Structure 1
């Protein structure tokens, strides 16, 4: 199987979403969650253990991977990347052979979601693992045979491929980012993780997780396992109360990192602390504490050298990313909810000159039932004080038109921005490449913010980094 056909094949497991105006019935078989709205349809975690067994992996095989499981709304991927970096630097400093698996999402290119020792999974290994999972689940036969057994969806398949690969490749520790939610998330099949953690919680996936911070906190803390250490950062009061309640219910020892500076000064001096970008400090602090607690359980500890080298060497594309290209500076961050938009706007204003030309490229592809995309854009505009000279709205990702929106939605974006900033020039393009070309027409020495969808950011990075 070629890599191209493997990528196309795994993308074929995507579910088709109903039209935005259509109501999606709530499945009567879906677990009812106290303090949280029920999700729609089947619980994503349903079937995962059975599928793993079919491809030869028992729960003890998963537990032996030393899984660090991370949920949250903002900063999950970055936190996972920092944990990976800290553990790699610790192993290097101590001459330890430690193979680290990292599973994150999202990415336009499926193999990029699965990394070993920080490297995206080689295309031939991805194709081999996909083929083995498909054969193990007997999904390579006649699809018209009428079998009533459910098959995995895309995210379920990606989680199966990743853990199958980690076991086959002899990985020593796995850092796993939950997709969304936690309690019913497709990654929540690990009975005995090494440690669990929750990053900052905000309003996101409200149709599935519920319409309040308390609802969402209930779901996120569903990754807690009895007796397993959990860590989190300072949260809104309702979220903190719910997290503490669930930790008590599950007999989970929990550490709240309330003071980011104090948490980091356990490992680094004040000069190093000040050198860490403001927007990254909370994620770095959480990641350092996760890595430290993990290593303590193994009879070791994290130190200043590990943290300094880990911060310096951590590369997480599309998160507070700055790229100089053809005379302009590109600021790229996949901020796809209201909480993230406030942070990316604050970052952009802090690192750019106020009197230099500012350009925004924005796209969002989530179903309206999942995210209030108008509210997200409005949050961005308000956070930027609408001080943008040119705005470009993108309709689709040319690499994968599964990620697209309607012209009507782009019209709504444009109208919202025009109403709040009448002097701004507003443009709509079909593809990311067209949006980038339009931004370049406004000359050099410009500061171009690319945000909204992580898929938009990844596609833009592929173009401007050349």
Structure 2
């Protein structure tokens, strides 16, 4: 990445516009977009994606499919891992430092001294960028929830998508699955088709009720499309017919359902079979069971098999466990750091049968990190032998000394994953 000093300083300044990191309402965004002459009304056709897990992977597969057809695609995602620029992809390329700095300057000037959260003002900056650069589609990933998320200001998207909904962010979205599903279903718009991934019955009922109320046609898993595996191939079927495709290049059985939602979206948009194959075979999405194959951390323990995952809720833990269950047998250690807002026991419990030992770390530079001692104690409570490591790099060395050919999974938080990607170059 080029020098990001200027944009880093502007982003830091934006953190000071509102005392809370998260404060769900659309009032401030509406004011800001009006001050910017409503870029959200000038976006290329929008595909809006909400859900608890799988949003980013699904978006990555849709983008790979559309780009294989020669389409120019904007994409907005959060949080970033190593650099903020990852959040804004303009017609296929990450936004440049000069373009980002200019946009941030413009948004700071338009906002004046009004309160606005970091996510809200940076989302407005992304919309401004997307409105000015020609493209065929805009892929918008919801930041949190859906109904009151800053991305939920587009009146007529081309398509909405709701990936699997599970319990997470209860302090903002509600304590029960129906409440959380109601927040996610807030992206459904009148008359706009909505692709729905696999859901628990109680969540699906809420989504179906809102879709019916708004006359939004549903393309729901198990009803309008089906996805499965057969003899090492991915089989997708809908009313247009059957696709026999390679398995997704993104590892883990949960990527089958993400691929299904992406394929349902692409088929609705008229994509051909070549685009659908590219969607599952060309997608890239870092820190989702990503094998690290080069860099200083890899070089420091060359026989260790190093993996990185940013999943951080119980469904994410279950997805990692299912992935590990399908991998060749090998002593597997975890280096884990989590935020204090997460259900750590729910995350760790599915991993317990697959781990030899866990080393807990605090996430560097993160105010809401769970102390390593608390993570280690929670791991022991979940039935995992656990100790503490001063850092990820030292944790890798501790494991390599104990078992030079171990598999090491760095996990628990996207913030931890981002730090690892920066450290590993």
Q: TM-score range by the shorter chain?
A: 0.7 to 0.9
2:132 is matched with which residue? 168
CA displacement 1:115-137 (0-9 Å, x = unmatched): 12443222221111111211222
Deviation at 1:54, TM superposition (A): 0.8
Aligned ranges 1:9-20 → 2 under 5 Å: 9-14=10-15, 16=19
Aligned ranges 1:34-433 → 2 under 5 Å: 42-57=23-38, 59-62=40-43, 65-91=44-70, 98-108=71-81, 109-138=83-112, 150-258=114-222, 259-261=226-228, 264-265=236-237, 269-270=243-244, 272-273=246-247, 277=251, 278-293=253-268, 295=269, 301-324=270-293, 325=298, 326-353=302-329, 356-365=330-339, 367-368=340-341, 371-376=342-347, 380=348, 382-397=349-364, 401-407=365-371, 410-421=372-383, 424-429=385-390, 431-433=391-393
**TM-score between the two structures when normalised by the length of structure 2:** 0.87
1:5 is matched with which residue? 6
Task: Give the match's secondary structure for 1:264.
Answer: strand
Q: 2:161 and 2:318 mapped to 1: Cα distance?
A: 23
Structure 1: which 5+ residue stretches go unaligned? 19-40, 92-97, 140-149, 296-300
Aligned 8 A contact 2:66 2:266 in 1: yes
Aligned 8 A contact 1:88 1:117 in 2: no
Change (3 A) 1:174 1:59: closer
Deviation at 1:440, TM superposition (A): 3.8
Change (3 A) 1:131 1:76: same
Q: CA RMSD in A?
A: 2.5
Q: 1:246 and 1:461 mapped to 2: Cα distance?
A: 40
Change (3 A) 1:118 1:274: closer
Q: 1:436 and 1:275 mapped to 2: Cα distance?
A: 26
Aligned 8 A contact 1:279 1:343 in 2: yes
Q: 2:134 and 2:248 mapped to 1: Cα distance?
A: 38
Aligned 8 A contact 1:44 1:156 in 2: no
Aligned 8 A contact 2:88 2:126 in 1: yes
CA displacement 1:250-299 (0-9 Å, x = unmatched): 22111102222397246775462588853311111111111221x3xxxx
Deviation at 1:386, TM superposition (A): 4.1
2:231 is matched with which residue? none
Deviation at 1:316, TM superposition (A): 0.8
Aligned 8 A contact 1:360 1:448 in 2: yes
Aligned 8 A contact 1:361 1:449 in 2: yes
Task: Give the match's secondary structure for 2:411.
Answer: strand
- Work out the number of aligned pairs and report it: 402
Q: 2:131 and 2:304 mapped to 1: Cα distance?
A: 44
Change (3 A) 1:170 1:439: farther
Q: 1:276 and 1:454 mapped to 2: Cα distance?
A: 17
Deviation at 1:461, TM superposition (A): 3.0
Structure 2: which 5+ residue stretches go unaligned? 229-233
Q: 2:26 and 2:400 mapped to 1: Cα distance?
A: 45
Deviation at 1:5, TM superposition (A): 2.9
Aligned 8 A contact 1:389 1:425 in 2: no
Change (3 A) 1:263 1:52: farther
Aligned 8 A contact 1:263 1:289 in 2: no
Aligned 8 A contact 2:48 2:187 in 1: yes
